[in-house]
Structure formats: structure tokens, C-alpha cells
Structure 1
């Protein structure tokens, strides 16, 4: 009988998602000339607030999984980037589209990487379980 796919706890998923988003922001701030706390806050706070505002109605942490994470990412990330532009006074127009496209790709990379790290131990346990059970018998 096939076991269900492992799911991380809601708290672990929320923590790893927040770490992934903050890591994205820190890397971006460093790439664009420094590591100013104000730069991290002006980008990170709108992104995290948008994430939370979308994650709640989507149920990202009630039903932890790829679908809810991707739905939250698809809506919250553009909202967070728009909030960043409002706070920073830009970019707008084609600059916002260009920045947004790059940011969408990299936030997804960071989020998927974080979730894979979170699932890693559970996946290893799941793949080892049948072999271990056979050795015991």
C-alpha cells in the first residue's frame, strides 16, 4: 500500500517560506550595492505583508502543499513588489515589469528550494521505510 506524500507542519512551512523570502530580499539588496537594513525593510516588509495577506485566505498553512504555495506566490509576490514600488517611489512602467519578472523567477526559486529542503528528511524517511521494514523481517 502506498503511503501519502509527506507534508511539513504548518509552522515549519511558514518559517521556511519567510526565510526564503527574506533570503531573496537580502541577496537582492547585496547585489544592488550593499546590505542596508533600510533597503531590506523597504523591500522585505511589503513582500512579507502581501504574503501573509494572501496566504490566509488561500489556506497556504492550513493545507500545506505545492498548490497553495504556488497560488500564494502568484498573487502575493506581484502585490509585494507593487508595495515596494509605492514605498520606494518606483520602478514603474517597463522598469516594474522587468524587475517584477526577475523577482518572480527568483522568489519562486527561493521558495521551491526552501520547501525541498523542508521535505528532504521526510522524503528520505519515506523512501527508506520499505527497505528497512524488509530487513527487519
Structure 2
């Protein structure tokens, strides 16, 4: 037996803003909202249990700790890394310096709430 990742939960001071950002980045759609203000987004037509994990943006008032111990890596699907970087920056991502040397093949970015993620070079097929 084995497990697979079905959901990733991200604490957010503004779940709606992050849901909109990550929906645009990943081509996801809103799947539902809970009474506590959590918003679940995922692949349109697939949702929870589909081939890709869903994201749950969970409201919190707690300040974000230092550098995250876990981050998301994304890969372009329909254009090269440079074009995808321009798209992500236009959506509100910002470059982040976490000690890179400058020789990396990836870009370290932050979402609108400062959560780091990496844009990899390798282009992959969409699911």
C-alpha cells in the first residue's frame, strides 16, 4: 500500500486573494468554501481525489514564521520558463532571495502573502 498527496493546506491571512492567485497560476477552479472561511481550489472537473492535489487556503491571524520548511515547485506546461516567469510576475508573484547563487536553473518566487515557491525550467505536459 502507498499514499499520495490529495490536498495541500496553506494558512492565509486572505484566503480569497491566495485562492485567486493560485487558481490563475495552476489553472485551478474554486471547488468549495467552508464555514470557517477556508477555500478549496483544484483542477476543474476533477476536484478532490483527482490526478493532482487540491489546495486549501485556510484563514489564520497568526503571523507567518520565518522561511517555510515546505514549498511548492511549479513547472511550465505551455510555454518556456522565461515566458512563464513573466506571467507569474504579472499575476503578483515576486522574486525572493533565499541565498541562491544565481546559477540555479529555477527561479525562487513568493506568492502575494510571501510564501516561497519555485518555477522550474523543465516543461511538463498538462494533466
Same fold (TM over 0.5): no
Structure with bigger helix share is: 1
Relative contact order, CA 8 A, sep 6+: which one is greater?
Answer: 1
Which has the higher Rg, Structure 1 or Structure 2?
Answer: 1
Normalising by structure 2, report the TM-score: 0.30
Normalising by structure 1, report the TM-score: 0.28
